[in-house]
Every structure is written in structure tokens, then in C-alpha cells.
Amino acid sequence: MEDLFKFLMIKTGRDFDAAELAEMNPTQLAYVGDAIYEAFVRTYLVIKFKEPMRKLHKRSVDHVRAGSQSEALQIVIPILSEDELYIVKRGRNTKSANIPANADMIEYRRATAFESLLGYLYLSGRYERLFEIMWRALEANEPCEKESEVFWDR
């Protein structure tokens, strides 16, 4: 991920300073955060489980749906710094015209806040922190997973 971001920064000649990034539209941060989290979850599932695509897809959806992301946000809030909480609050307060049928407004806003945080961390180059938060989110949803057909034992 880090190499991808560096490559794009070089090719576009664009760089973000901290102030500009903190004021970026939260929906843009969420747009990036959604993609980063989806890739993280899918990679984790492919590494951990030897299953047909149908089952992998269902597991992925279980992790990235608004309800799971809303729960994940609640788990990571106590460990967030002031600048991270600022991004979360801005993301949560963003109005959205489209709320998925399988989520209520509160869940969707929290999920958007979570994705905004991930996008912010990614674009600011704070990869270690990004991975820590995504891992905690993944662990929060872990009890939903059955350990059948796991590649290795714990």
C-alpha cells in the first residue's frame, strides 16, 4: 500500500500537508478508506481461509457492511488521538443522500466516520497506525467466523 501511494504521489506531483488533509472532504477520505479496508479484509480472508469464492465473499461482506464498521469504530474510539477523533467527528457528521437499505442512519454515519479515519491515515502515510486500527476492527468481527478450512492452526 505504501508503495502504491508513493508511486501515485510521484506520478501526479501532488503531496498533502497535514492541514490540507485534515480539512479534506470527509466523503473523499471515506472513499479511499472504503477501498483500503476492503482490500485489507479480502487479503486477510484469502490468506486465512481455503474456501470457494462465494464463502469468501460472504465473509468479506460481513466485515465491511455498515453495521460491522460501526461496531469497529466504537471499539477503536478509546485509543484514538485528538486529530483522529477530529476526522471521525467530521466523517460522522457528513450528510449522505444514499443510505443502504441494510443499515440505519446511525450505523451508516459511524461507518462513514470509520472509513474517513482509514482514508486519512492512509493518505497521511501513517501505515502502522492504519494497520493497527484495521486489525482491531477485523478482530472485533472475528467471532462471526468459523475456523473451518483454515490454512493453519492458531
- Each residue's pLDDT tens digit, 125-139: 999 999 999 999 998
Q: Which of 76-80, 96-100, 115-119 has the lowest mean pLDDT?
A: 96-100
Kindly state the average pLDDT of the residues 77-81: 96
User: Three cell numbers at 107?
Assistant: 450505523
| Residue whose cell numbers read 504521489 | 9
3-state secondary structure of 128: helix
Q: Note the pLDDT of residue 143.
A: 55
Q: Does the annotation count 34 as an active-site position?
A: yes
Those residues whose C-beta lies under 8 Å from the C-beta of residue 41, and which sit 6 or more positions away, are 60, 63, 64, 138
Q: Note the pLDDT of residue 17.
A: 79
Q: Note the pLDDT of residue 99.
A: 66
**Has residue 100 got a pLDDT over 90?**
no
Q: What span, in angstroms and rounded, lies between the C-alpha atoms of 6 and 22?
A: 19
Of 3, 15, 17, 34, the catalytic one is 34
User: Would you put residue 99 in left (φ > 0), alpha (ψ -120 to 50) or beta?
Assistant: beta
Is domain 2-6+20-143 annotated with CATH 1.10.3720.10?
Answer: no
| Residue whose cell numbers read 450528510 | 95
pLDDT tens-place string over residues 8-44: 878 888 877 778 888 899 999 999 999 999 999 999 9
Q: Note the pLDDT of residue 38.
A: 96
Kindly state the average pLDDT of the residues 87-94: 92
The string over 35-67, giving b where at least 16 C-beta atoms fall within 10 Å of a residue's C-beta and e elsewhere, is ebbeebbbebbeebbebeeeebeebbeebbbbb
Domain definitions of the chain by residue range = 2-6+20-143
Q: What span, in angstroms and rounded, lies between the C-alpha atoms of 146 and 132?
A: 23
